Amino acid sequence: MKSLIIRMFVLSIVFTVMVVFISTVASAEDAIWSLDSSTSNAVLFQGSAKNPLSLNTGVARVTGKVSLGADLDHSVVDLSIFPSDEDWGLALTLESDLPAGYVPDATDHTLLTFKSKRILKTKDGRLELIGDLILTRVQRSVTMVPTEAYAGPVYGDPVIHTETRETAFFFPTSSSRALSGPLTPATLQTKKSLELSGSTRVNYENFPQLLRAIKDTNWPAVVKDEQCRMPSTIGDDYSGARCTGTVIAATNNASCQMPASVGDDYSGPVCTPAAGNQTTIILDLKLLPTGSEPAVGMLSAISTAR
């Protein structure tokens, strides 16, 4: 009887160890990649079919929810793309939605969101993210009455305009390979992050509002851990708050050149206008491995110290 009890006790321990081991492997193989919003960014270009990267029109911050894994049918990519000096990230949900009745801040002007509907693997091994690209623009009426008591323009209530078009982002073959393999515990220890780059091209005829909005928007550099402080004293050379941080992405206008000679009529570099009305959006995403649904802070963490 005693030996039987011992055998049952040993078997229970073995069974418990096996369950823990299987659960650990299963959770590792089902691991998903989530978005690191602190370093992910987008680069915007204007060009043509022959030269799509003719003019770098801006760079943008990228936040949102990304849940990518081997099971593409249950993967989700919801992204928000906006200028780094606008505060959309403080109001957007993880699914890149604005709350009902949201009143844009005075700094909010341009917002792009992408919501995936299908994620496919193409015949050549690339990942194809098909979804809706939504442009949100904020307009405010301006009243200027030049009188003796004139104190500047008076702005009316903000009006939000949205336009939606279906588009597809393509990620190279390496992205598909990196996401499709099982993530064993050993693999999770070596893969601290995954950097993916995908792009989409939108013709002017299909989405004319997109190119106009990008050209009319100011796109400052994307900075990580940005902190701005007012100087202790303000003098004649005051130029605003002093900011520090790490630059993640900045506009690079290679079409501008300094003139061969500079005279009294010098007005700055000479820039060659972009040829073509095609918009290219390149996403540079950094993904982090997780064993379960990513935490809220990991998905949409964005520095609010500006």
Q: DSSP for 6-23? A: HHHHHHHHHHHHHHHHHH
Range of weakest confidence among 25-29, 62-66, 107-111, 224-228: 25-29
Q: Which range scores top for mean pLDDT: 113-117, 222-226, 285-289, 293-297?
A: 113-117
Q: Would you tell me how many other CB atoms lie within 10 Å of the CB of residue 94? A: 17
The model's pLDDT over 77-119, given as tens digits with 9 standing for 90+, comes to 999 999 999 989 888 887 888 888 888 888 889 999 999 999 9
Query: Do 274 and 46 form a contact (C-beta atoms < 8 A)?
Result: yes
The predicted-structure confidence for 163-221, as pLDDT tens digits, reads as follows 999 999 999 877 767 666 554 444 444 567 788 899 999 999 999 999 999 999 999 99
CB of 130 within 8 A of CB of 117?
A: yes
pTM above 0.85, yes or no: no
Q: How far apart are CA 201 and CA 279, in angstroms?
A: 6
Please give the pLDDT value at position 23: 33
pLDDT of residue 123: 87
Q: Over the Cα atoms of the chain, what is R_g? A: 25
* Number of other CB atoms surrounding residue 167 within 10 Å: 18
Give percent of the chain above pLDDT 90. Answer: 32
pLDDT at site 19: 35
Does the pLDDT value for residue 141 go beyond 80?
A: no
Residues 93, 98: Cα–Cα separation, whole Å: 7
Mean pLDDT of 148-170: 81
Mean of all residue pLDDT scores within the chain: 76
8 A C-beta contact, residue 287 and residue 36: yes
The Cα–Cα gap between 26 and 121 comes to 23
**Mean pLDDT value across residues 215-237:** 80
Q: Please list, residue by residue across 276-287, b when 16 or more beta carbons sit within 10 angstroms of its beta carbon and e when fewer do.
A: bebbbbbbbbbb
- For residue 179, the model assigns a pLDDT of 65
Least confident of 127-141, 176-190, 217-231, 269-283: 176-190
Please tell me the least confidently modeled range out of 16-20, 176-180, 241-245.
16-20
